[in-house]
Amino acid sequence: MTDQSEFNTDYDLVVVGSGAGALTAAITAQAQGLRVLVVEKTDKYGGTSALSGGGIWIPCNHHFKAKGGNDTPEKVWTYLKNAIGDDIDEPRVRTYIDKAPEMIQWLENNSRLRYAVAEKYPDYYPHLDGFLPGGRTLDPELFDISALKDELPNLRQASRGNLLMGKISWTARQAHVAMSKSPGWRLMLMWMMLRYKMDFMWRKKTGEQRDRRTALGNALIASLRATLIDKNIPLWLNTNFVELIEEDGRVCGIVVERNGRQQRIRADKGVILASGGFEQNPALREKYLPQPNKIEWSATPEGANTGVALEQGQKLGAATALLDWAWWTPSFLVPGETKARGVFAERAFPGAIVVNSLGKRYVNEAAPYLEFVTSMYADNKVTQGKTFPSWVVFDAKFRFNYAMGPLMPGQIMPDMRLRKEWLNKLYYKADTLEELAQKIGVDVAGLKETVKKINHYAETGVDEDFDRGGNVFDRYYGDSNVKPNPCLAPVAKGPFYAMPIQGGDIGTKGGLLTNKHAQVVKPDGQVIKGLYAIGNTSASVMGTTYPGAGGTLGPAMTFGYIAALDAAAQK
Ligand code: FAD
């Protein structure tokens, strides 16, 4: 027995971190009758989850079913088995398939969180058996953040890249309509801008610049945080977890730093580590991730996730896996912004190509982000260091019609309205391709040859090198009005533009090894009693793959739910 007098505070369960998995765990545990505490190191709650797209990949979910969708656990298993391969952790993956739909249905019945199915958002690997062209990704509904009251200023802000014009919230479904220029897109955008403008009184009253109706990851976190408020579940900000307390072979609490002093918090039923990966720790990045990689290329909140939970778990003998993997995402470094911006959709728009400094394409630009950066690393080996950075190259027609990172389409934001400090850092411009290539240090002949090829492919509709636009996933963000291939258009009309793109990430993928109950295990499979890990603190259940949009948050929330139920069942 632990001597209670040694502890400053006493709870049944402590959750470290305040991302989506953590808050899901806290709500679930409290519903099971546990006294729960959530501790968050920074002065903002929500972590990377708050600035994410908020999509969750939940196969066989009830929203899809209600719309007549057809998915089965066996189909999902086939898909994941094909994607992950022989290294698949069958008990964990089968548990995920079984519990993910239960988790989201339970959460919608017991919290303010609401999702809708993104029926057109395909899984990421169309070539695999078990793939679905839509229905497994759920997209948060808009959430009115005035419900957060005093806790509103502490909500981590959405990333600018996720907001229309840097300020207006939109769901992933709305973003898709606009980006693919599907019927009605102009009217929809005008309505959204009008709605934002008309709500000026709220912004004036609250001093808030952000949209009252928040979307994506911000809606996910805000609605879960509002539920914690409803249910009086405490969340301590500025509370830094530093150490696990283990007694009699069982984790029974943590040490935190709060208000300048250390406190010991008792947690008889266990500790759930949900404090993200090690993406914000330069030393651990250097130690585990492939080179080159830089903390500045990561799109995650600066200084937040530094891998303390990983190191603490390792101290107790925990096994680890996938430490050399991240949720790779190409990114732009925008001058004046503190973190990189992930480049998720724009790579599929017709007329922008990506080349290395030899001027050669090496990847289907529209490929899923994890695969894109994996190809960057592979090509960098071949070119012996000439692939970081790569260059997104496009012409005046593309510039007029489409966004690329923070460059809104020229028809909305002409060059003269772009920030001066962006020129020759975020983007380069020249009248001819030769001049552009010289400016950015790319081989002139290589680039011209590549452009000649792509212009031919745009005409025929077939990318003979990488089959860009050759599947339903690529075409999701293609321009539906462009024929014959919505992802291909010529790079022909000057002036020409180039933007450096890096191999960034939206979090690390490796971490503490867990079993199907989200319990942390040792290399021999023995459980570390009382210790759970979820989200990017744990090694991903998805192995080295990213099966569909929401492939990180779906498991984080599902294993948060599972961990809470398991902790509650402990004697
Ligand atoms: P986090 O959400 O980062 O939460 C960890 C929390 O722990 C942080 O608040 C941190 O401050 C806190 N913490 C860290 N150390 C300590 C400590 N010592 N003590 C106390 N607290 C601590 N994934 C999807 O599945 N779907 C998407 O649509 C999606 N879109 C994305 C878009 C963008 C722009 C980005 C950047 C990411 C996106 N992701 C998406 C990835 C996803 O957001 C992350 O993988 C996920 O949020 C990780 O969740 P987590 O709970 O592990 O970490």
- Which tens digit of pLDDT belongs to each residue from 413-454? 999 999 999 999 999 999 999 999 999 999 999 999 999 999
Share of the chain above pLDDT 90, in %: 94
Residue 363 has pLDDT above 50, yes or no: yes
Distance from the CA of 347 to the center of ligand 1, in angstroms? Answer: 24
Q: What percent of the chain has pLDDT over 70?
A: 99
417 CA to centre of ligand 1 in angstroms = 33
Q: Is the pLDDT of residue 469 over 60?
A: yes
> Judging by DSSP bridges, how do beta strands 390-394 and 527-533 pair with one another?
unpaired
pLDDT tens-digit profile of 233-261?
999 999 999 999 999 999 999 999 999 99
The answer to whether residue 1 scores a pLDDT higher than 50 is no
What is the rounded average pLDDT for all residues in the chain? 96
Query: Ligand 1 pocket check: which of 15, 275, 343, 546 to mutate, most ligand atoms within 8 Å of Cβ?
Result: 275
* DSSP secondary structure letter of residue 393: E
pLDDT value for 207:
80
How would DSSP label each residue in 296-349? GGB-SPTTT---HHHHHHHHTT--EE-TT-EEEEEEE--TT-SS-EE--SGGGS
Pocket lining: 364 vs ligand 1, CB cutoff 6 Å: no
Is residue 98 predicted with pLDDT exceeding 90? yes
Q: DSSP 3-state assignment of 383? A: helix
Q: What is the mean pLDDT of residues 105-114?
A: 98
Using the predicted structure, report yes or no on whether residue 4 has a pLDDT greater than 80: no
Per the structure block, which two tokens stand in for 334? Answer: 């925008």
Q: Confirm or reject: Cβ of 240 under 6 Å from ligand 1.
A: yes
Residue having the nearest C-alpha atom to atom 11 of ligand 1: 304
- Per-residue pLDDT band at 31 (split at 50, 70, 90): very high
Question: pLDDT category, 161, cuts 50, 70, 90?
Answer: confident
Residue 272 Cα, ligand 1 centroid: separation in angstroms?
A: 15
Is the peptide bond between 330 and the residue preceding it cis, with omega within 30 degrees of 0? no
Ligand 1 centroid to Cα of residue 47, in Å, is 5
Residue 2, pLDDT score? 40
C-alpha span between 270 and 172 (Å, rounded): 36
Kindly state if the Cβ of 308 falls inside 6 Å of ligand 1: yes
| Half-sphere CA count of 183, side-chain side, radius 13 A | 0
Count of CB atoms within 10 A of residue 187's CB?
9
The Å distance, Cα 41 to ligand 1 centre, comes to: 13
Question: Which residue type is seen at 321?
Answer: A
Residue 86 to residues 80, 91, 172, 532, Cα–Cα distance (Å)? 11, 13, 33, 25
User: For residue 517, is pLDDT > 70?
Assistant: yes
17 close to 273: Cβ distance less than 8 angstroms: yes
Which residue owns the Cα nearest ligand 1 atom 51?
Answer: 19
Distance CA 194, CA 200 (A): 10
Model confidence at 5, pLDDT cuts 50, 70, 90, reads low
How remote is the CA of residue 125 from the centroid of ligand 1, in Å? Answer: 24
CA quadruple 76, 77, 78, 84: dihedral sign: positive
Residue pair 138/63 in contact by the 8 Å Cβ criterion: yes
Atom of ligand 1 nearest to the CA of 21: 51
**Residue 3 above 60 pLDDT?**
no
> Of ligand 1's atoms, which has the minimum distance to the CA of residue 341?
34
The residue whose CA is least distant from atom 39 of ligand 1 is 52
Mean pLDDT across 335-339: 93
Ligand 1 pocket residue status of 174, Cβ below 6 Å: no
Give the distance (Å) from ligand 1 centre to CA of residue 394.
32
Q: Is the CB of 51 under 6 A from ligand 1?
A: yes
The pLDDT, as a whole number, for residue 192 is: 94
Tell me, in angstroms, the distance from the centre of ligand 1 to residue 280's CA. 11
Give a three-class secondary structure readout of 504-522.
Answer: EEEEECCEECECCCCEEEC
Q: How far is the CA of 15 from the centre of ligand 1 (A)?
A: 14
pLDDT band of residue 24 (cuts 50, 70, 90) is very high
Residue 240: phi, psi to the nearest 5? Answer: -95, 115
For residue 111, the SS3 value is coil
- What is the distance in A from the centroid of ligand 1 to the CA of 36? 20
- List phi, psi (to 5°) of 353: -120, 160
Taking CA atoms only, the protein residue closest to ligand 1 atom 8 is 47
Grade residue 209 by pLDDT with cuts at 50, 70 and 90.
confident
Rounded to 5°, the CA angle 344-460-132 comes to 45
Residue 316: pLDDT above 60? yes
Tokens of 348: 């599929």
Does the beta carbon of 280 sit less than 6 angstroms from any atom of ligand 1? no
Ligand 1 within 6 A of CB of 278: no
Using the mean position of ligand 1's atoms as its centre, give its distance from the Cα of residue 523 in Å.
26
């040490």: which residue's tokens?
255
Tokens 């293609």 belong to which residue?
Answer: 478
Instruction: Return the bridge partners of 45, or none.
Output: 155
Only one residue has tokens 């002065």, namely 43
How far apart are alpha carbons 559 and 562 in whole angstroms? 5
Which atom in ligand 1 lies closest to the alpha carbon of residue 162?
Answer: 34
